[in-house]
A and B are shown apart, each in its own frame.
Chain A
Amino acid sequence: MSEEALKTPKLDELEKGKWPSFVTEIKMAAKKSPMAKDLLGQLEKSYRDKIGYWKHGGIVGVMGYGGGVIGRYSDLSKEFPNVSHFHTMRINQPAGWFYTTDSLRKICDIWEKHGSGLTNMHGSTGDIILLGTRTDELESVFSELQKIDFDIGGSGSDVRTPSCCCGMARCEWACYDTMKTCYDFTMHYQDEIHRPAFPYKFKFKFSGCPNDCVASIARADMSIIGTWRDAIQIDKNAVAEYAKSGMDIESDVVDNCPAKCMEWDGKELNIENSYCRRCMHCINAMPRALKPGKDRGATVLLGSKAPIIEGAMLSSVLIPFYKMEPPYQELKDVIERIWDIWCEEGKNRERVGEFIQRVGMGNFLDAIELEPVAEMVAHPRENPYVFYEEYYEEGDEEGEEEES
């Protein structure tokens, strides 16, 4: 690479301002990594020419695995030979993203030895992303990562690396142990993570409470969101303390309740729990006074995705309440039945949410042997899936037609 290519006026613009800059990071890495240096050169040229110079590699991976490596080749390999291969590796992160500094150093050492030294901590998938290595280095990286108990994550038409919020490790609202569940699912579905067998990707994300800090309702095919089914716990003295310290409970809490299920008479807060929608607003507003109930578990939702083939979709309720106790066998049985019908009938690149939309929720529920229940709503106050066939006597429809 010529010295001239190191001038990066376009990229330099992205170092201005008070925020950390990825350009600064790549420049630092470029001092000792030829790959990072050529990456800067190619990126500057891309910005100047308004063209992305990457080619997608579809065949790179490690022996036996079908996911976890995303192939990238440079279209300008003569000009920037050190990024001729620039594959990404997705590494399965620990549940809740907890590391020792020692394990982080070991990962970085491996990547400086076999790759560009550049990482994303973390990618939007949740994995540790190691950016830029050559095809002939993939097996070495894999082998060294295994020695420190790390494994490659998912990519392609497989179960993507499950991810979760920090749950009970750091958060008082966790209604189930997200980290334990995430770890359990990761171990249980190793085959499905490493050996793509589905029509398209399938993501699990575990959130400990309806705040949904990992945005599972929008990003996971199966969103498992903590909830409770009894009454919100109230510390009446603490509520009074909030009022005394100047909080306008009427306007800041009661008026913002989407279910209008609470009343404040100036002294006491009363909640009609049967109307509560578990939105968490009141609990977030008065964390010292209100807590989720004691009978805790999770709501299992299905079908969200970002827009690729169809537009963006949110998950909708599949199992209103599940206790989330190991080994989660009933839930895993439902998952197996979902995969069976989706693999059998799903089109290529059709996410499970799109599949449900195509075949209809009623038919889908039939196929996975789940009874429709009123909580399976697509939108508030709308329930297009449930047909109460038992309310109709045989021959009713013909009778109606005759009458009309």
Chain B
Amino acid sequence: MAKTVDEIAEAMFSMVKDAFGQKKLKPMDLTKAMIELYGDEVDKKLCKEAIKQLINSGRCVYTYFGGSYIEIPHKEGAANE
């Protein structure tokens, strides 16, 4: 049975949370991981919607460190008060 956007968003959020501080994940890393995990139950379009939901809800943010990544919101080291 095909996965829903909510389910994929939740799975992606877990990945991002678990990787925090260890590995920065790009949107395509999340998409590939979901396709590997759920096979035919997901596609790129669904993953794109799930990422959009994570960002729009504020649970995740885009960050830039030489390339763009998806992380959970946090205070970066360089930030001044």
A residues near B, CB below 8 A? Answer: 55-59, 61, 63-67, 70-71, 73-74, 77, 84-85, 135, 155-158, 191, 195-200, 343-344, 348-349
Contact = CB atoms under 8 A, between A and B. Distances in A.
A138 to B, nearest CB: 13
B60 to A, nearest CB: 10
Interface stretch (B5-13, B14-22, B48-56): B48-56
B80 A74 contact: yes
A298 to B, nearest CB: 29
Given A66-B55, A197-B28, A343-B28, A57 B76 contact: yes
Contacts of A198: 28, 68
B12 to A, nearest CB: 13
A158 B68 contact: yes
Contacts of A157: 26, 67-68
Residue of A56, A58, A135 most packed against chain B (CB within 10 A): A58
A155 B27 CA distance: 15
Interface residues of B, number: 25
A355 to B, nearest CB: 13
The 4 closest A-B pairs by CB, nearest first: A66-B62, A196-B68, A156-B68, A157-B68
B61 A61 contact: yes
A199 B56 contact: no
Residue of B63, B66, B80 most packed against chain A (CB within 10 A): B80
26 contacts: A56-B78, A57-B79, A58-B78, A59-B61, A59-B64, A61-B61, A63-B56, A66-B68, A73-B78, A73-B80, A84-B80, A84-B81, A85-B80, A155-B64, A156-B64, A156-B68, A157-B26, A158-B68, A191-B48, A195-B51, A195-B52, A196-B62, A196-B68, A197-B28, A197-B48, A197-B51
Nearest to A157: B68
B78 A197 contact: no
A55 B78 contact: yes
Contacts of A64: 55-56
Residue of A71, A85, A156, A200 most packed against chain B (CB within 10 A): A156
The prevalent SS among residues of A at the interface is: loop
A287 B21 CA distance: 61
A344 B29 CA distance: 9
A67 B67 contact: no
Given A66-B55, A156-B62, A343-B28, A349 B78 contact: no
Given A64-B56, A77-B80, 15 more contacts: A57-B76, A59-B61, A63-B58, A65-B62, A66-B64, A66-B68, A74-B80, A77-B81, A155-B64, A156-B62, A157-B68, A191-B48, A195-B51, A195-B55, A197-B28
Residue of A61, A73, A191, A197 most packed against chain B (CB within 10 A): A197
A59 B68 CA distance: 10
Contacts of B27: 195-197
Contacts of A67: 62, 68
Contacts of A135: 79
Interface in B29-81: 48, 51-52, 55-56, 58, 61-68, 71, 73-74, 76, 78-81
A61 B70 CA distance: 13
B76 A58 contact: yes
Nearest to B28: A343
Contacts of B74: 59
Contacts of A58: 63-65, 76, 78
B78 to A, nearest CB: 4
A200 B28 contact: no
Contacts of A56: 78
Nearest to A57: B78
A53 B28 CA distance: 34
A199 B68 CA distance: 8
